[in-house]
Every structure is written in structure tokens, then in C-alpha cells.
């Protein structure tokens, strides 16, 4: 932003008379700067939102709109309407990603089939890990994440992650018995 050039007051004119004139010139320059920024925002914001809704990446969207990441953050922070549009674009990108993953789980990824160095067709390659993660996302009560606390049914009581010393000793004794039974069964099968 450039400031207007201040001229020294002519003889006999007070500073109180000159100050409003200088302030008015400064505000005019400021208004022109803001208008230019607003026109520029009208050009880059739609490109930014389109790229964001396709990629779910702020960095990629800023690069596609040819603005800096900090410019995007400034506009998002200062304009609630733009912030709402960014949130909607993010939701749309997540929905797009989810639909793509569902399609990959159901139909599989196309993988080329070669015969004598030439592609003769395509077959579906299925990613079981992706299917498991989608099931965990949609059915967390059935498909638990690794390391989560799971109740173990040991007869008439449920044992969680934390057990008492007595229960631990009982489990160790039962495990030792089972190992001895397995050794006896193995010896009988060998002879």
C-alpha cells in the first residue's frame, strides 16, 4: 500500500485544515487496493474450491488457484462465507474419495494381463486392506481397530485388558495344562 505524498502546508493554513485532505486521499487509495484484491479473489476462489473438492488438499488447491497458502488461510479466517464454502468443498472431496474406495473394493482395480509382451485384457485386483478399513469406518462395533479394548469371554465372567493377579495365575495354569495336553497328544500320534 502506498501512502499519498504529504506536502508542507502553505503559509497561514493550519494542520487541522490539511489533515482531512491527506486522510481522504489515503482512504481513496485504500479503497482502490481493496477493490483490486476483491476482484482478484473473485477469480481465484472458484478455482481453489474446484481443486479442493477434487483433491481434498489445501496445498494442491492453492497451487491450482495460483495463490499462496497463507492467502487462502487469511481469506478463510476473515470471510465466514468463504470458510463455509471451503468446508463444503472438503465434504465433497471426502464423499468423492469414499465413493472411489467403495468402487475399488467392489469392482477391484484394473490390472493389465500380458501375453507375449502385449496387453490382452484387464483383470480386477482387490485390496483386502482397503475393504477392512472401510468396514471399520462403517461398522466400528463389529470390526474393531487393533489395540482397542476387547472383552474376552472366559466362561461366566468377562475379562478386559486389566485383570487381577488371581485371574492371571488361573489363566497361566490353564494355558500350561493345554500345552501339556498338546504335547501328550503329539507323542501319542508319533508313536
Got the DSSP string for the chain?
-PPPPPPPPPTT--HHHHHHHHHHHHHHHHHHHHHHHHHHHHHHHHHHHHHHHHH--HHHHHHHHT--HHHHHHHHHH-HHHHHHHHHHHHHHHHHHHHHHHHHHHH-EEEEEEETTEEEEEEEE--HHHHHHHHHHH-TTTSPPTTS---EEETTEEE-S---HHHHHHHHHHHHHHHHHHHHHHHHHH-
pTM over 0.75: no
Each residue of 142-173: pLDDT tens digit? 777 665 555 555 555 554 456 778 888 888 89
89-135 pLDDT per residue, tens = 988 988 888 888 888 888 888 889 999 989 999 888 888 888 888 87
pLDDT, tens only, 22-76: 455 444 544 556 777 788 888 899 999 999 998 888 999 999 999 999 999 988 9
Amino acid at each position: 500500500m502506498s501512502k499519498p505524498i504529504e506536502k508542507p502546508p502553505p503559509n497561514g493554513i493550519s494542520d487541522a485544515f490539511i489533515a482531512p485532505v491527506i486522510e481522504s486521499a489515503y482512504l481513496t487509495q485504500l479503497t482502490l487496493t481493496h477493490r483490486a484484491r476483491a476482484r482478484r479473489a473473485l477469480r481465484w476462489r472458484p478455482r481453489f474450491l474446484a481443486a479442493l473438492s477434487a483433491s481434498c488438499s489445501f496445498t494442491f488447491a492453492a497451487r491450482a488457484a495460483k495463490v499462496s497458502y497463507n492467502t487462502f488461510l487469511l481469506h478463510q479466517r476473515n470471510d465466514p462465507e468463504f470458510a463455509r464454502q471451503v468446508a463444503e468443498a472438503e465434504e465433497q472431496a471426502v464423499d468423492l474419495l469414499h465413493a472411489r474406495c467403495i468402487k475399488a473394493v467392489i469392482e477391484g482395480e484394473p490390472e493389465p494381463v500380458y501375453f507375449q509382451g502385449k496387453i490382452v485384457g484387464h483383470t480386477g485386483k482387490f485390496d483386502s486392506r482397503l475393504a477392512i478399513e472401510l468396514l471399520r469406518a462403517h461398522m466400528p462395533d463389529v470390526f474393531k481397530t487393533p489395540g482397542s479394548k476387547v472383552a474376552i469371554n472366559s466362561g461366566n465372567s468377562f475379562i478386559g485388558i486389566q485383570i487381577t493377579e488371581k485371574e492371571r495365575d488361573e489363566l497361566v495354569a490353564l494355558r500350561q495344562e493345554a500345552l501339556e495336553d498338546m504335547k501328550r497328544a503329539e507323542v501319542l500320534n508319533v508313536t
